[in-house]
Amino acid sequence: MEFKDLEIFQLVAQKGTITEAAKALSYVQSNITSRIHKLETELNTPLFNRHNRGMSLTPEGKKLLVYCEKILTLTNEMKRVVQSGEDPSGKLEIGSVETVIKLPNILSTYTKKYKNVDLSLLTGVTDQLQQDVLNHRLDGAFVTETDVHPDLVSHDVFQEELVLISDMKATSLEQLIQEPFLCFSKGCGYRARLEAWYKNQNITPQKVMEFGTLETILSSVAVGLGITFVPRSAVSHLEKRGLIQCHTLPEQYSKIKTVFIRRSDAYLTTTIEKFIETIEQTKDETTEPLSFISN
The CATH number assigned to the domain holding 263 equals 3.40.190.10
Render pLDDT for 50-101 as a digit per residue (tens, 0 to 9).
Answer: 888 889 999 999 999 988 888 887 777 676 666 555 677 788 999 999 888 8
Task: Tell whether 28 and 141 lie within a shared domain.
Answer: no
Task: Tell whether 155 and 165 lie within a shared domain.
Answer: no
The answer on pLDDT for 293 being more than 60 is: no
Task: Tell whether 101 and 246 lie within a shared domain.
Answer: no
Specify the number of domains making up the chain. 3
| Higher per-residue pLDDT: 36 or 172 | 36
Task: Tell whether 105 and 128 lie within a shared domain.
Answer: yes
* pLDDT for the residue numbered 267: 76
Task: Tell whether 248 and 104 lie within a shared domain.
Answer: no
pLDDT band per the 50, 70, 90 thresholds, residue 294: very low
* Of 78, 106, 137, the domain-final residue: 78
% the chain with pLDDT above 70 = 92
- 246 within a domain of the structure (yes/no): yes
CA distances from 108 to 82, 140, 160, 226 (A): 27, 17, 22, 34
- CATH number of the domain residue 64 falls in: 1.10.10.10
Task: Tell whether 269 and 227 lie within a shared domain.
Answer: no
Mean pLDDT of 38-55: 89
Burial 81-116 (b: 16+ CB within 10 A, else e): eeebeeebbbebbbbbbbbbbbbebbbeebeeebee
* Of 78, 109, 132, the domain-final residue: 78
Give bridge partners of residue 123 from the DSSP assignment: 96
Averaged confidence pLDDT in the chain: 86
- 92 within a domain of the structure (yes/no): yes
- 290 within a domain of the structure (yes/no): no
- 189 within a domain of the structure (yes/no): yes
Instruction: Quote the domain boundaries for residue 25.
Output: 3-78
The answer on pLDDT for 146 being more than 90 is: no
Render pLDDT for 209-256 as a digit per residue (tens, 0 to 9).
Answer: 999 888 999 999 999 999 999 999 889 889 999 999 999 889 999 998
C-alpha 79: how far from chain center: 24
